[in-house]
Amino acid sequence: MHVKGKMMAFCGLFLALSVVCMSLGSVMETNTLFLLAAASFFVGIVIREFGMRAGGAFYVADVLLGLLIAPNKFYVLSFAAMGLYIVIIEAAWRMLGRSRTTQRQSIFWAVKYTAFNVMYIPMLVFFQELLLGGKKLSPVMTAGIWIAGQIALLIYDRAYDYVQAHIWTKIRGRMFS
């Protein structure tokens, strides 16, 4: 098996940065979601640079290393959900790029919201006591939190697109020149 040194070094560096972001989420509680989102963006960068196989391996290594190193395992599980969402949407984007359908954007958004809700709704319904410290929510509050999750997904997805299109593009030009 031929191992590409540049890819290995790049993935190792991003793996370290991702785990540092996960660990810092435990230290700086006010920035936890921001840091977990930043850690998950590294998964998407690796997928776009080196393909789905390398990205999938990076994701698995990131989750396993996070479980070993990060102090708060619940944050690692949150990162795992965010990273899995990135893996799913990147795979969907690649599949839609090969398809001949004219409604790619609509299908892509449907895949995004379906992937998110398949992970989010069971967590919201079945793990309320874990997430809210032993409290049970009313159906109206549960619906409100579901709507807030949809808005959070839109913000997270826009942030991911911005990082890929603007920030990573500038950094990439300097790293791979």
Q: Global pTM? A: 0.88
Vertex 117, ends 166 and 92: CA angle to 5°? 50
Burial class of residue 99 (count of CB atoms within 10 Å of its CB; 0-12, 13-18, 19+): exposed
Confidence band (pLDDT; 50, 70, 90) for 110? very high
Mean pLDDT of 106-113: 93
